[in-house]
Structure 1
Amino acid sequence: MNKKTLSILSYVTIIGWIVAFVKSKELTPKSDLVTYHLKQGFGIFLVTFALNIVLSVVIMTITSLYFLSYIGYALLILWIFGIINAANEQKKPIPVIGKMFEDKFDFIN
Structure 2
Amino acid sequence: MSNKTMAILAYVTIIGWVVAYLQYKKSADRNPLVNYHLGQSLGLIILSFILGIALSVVVSLVPTLYFLSLIVSVATLVFLLLGIVAANNEVSKPLPLIGKLFEGKFNFAS
Alignment partner, residue 73 of structure 1: 74
Structure 1 residue ranges, 4+ long, deviating more than 2 angstroms after superposition: none
How far is the alpha carbon of 1:79 from its aligned partner?
1.1
CA RMSD in angstroms, aligned pairs only: 1.0
Letter in 2 for 1:98: G
Letter in 2 for 1:25: K
- Paired residues in the alignment total 108
Find the aligned partners of 1:75 and 1:32 in 2 and give their Cα distance: 24
> Gaps spanning 5+ residues in structure 1: where?
none
Find the aligned partners of 1:18 and 1:95 in 2 and give their Cα distance: 23
Per-residue CA deviation, residues 25-44 of structure 1 (Å, 9 max, x unaligned), is 12222100000000001000
Find the aligned partners of 2:5 and 2:106 in 1 and give their Cα distance: 21
Find the aligned partners of 1:76 and 1:42 in 2 and give their Cα distance: 14
1:95 aligns with 2:92: no
Alignment partner, residue 17 of structure 1: 17
Find the aligned partners of 2:80 and 2:5 in 1 and give their Cα distance: 16
Find the aligned partners of 2:54 and 2:87 in 1 and give their Cα distance: 29
Per-residue CA deviation, residues 49-108 of structure 1 (Å, 9 max, x unaligned), is 1101111110111112222122211121111100110111110001011111111023x2
TM-score, scaled to structure 1: 0.93
TM-score, scaled to structure 2: 0.93
Find the aligned partners of 1:51 and 1:73 in 2 and give their Cα distance: 13
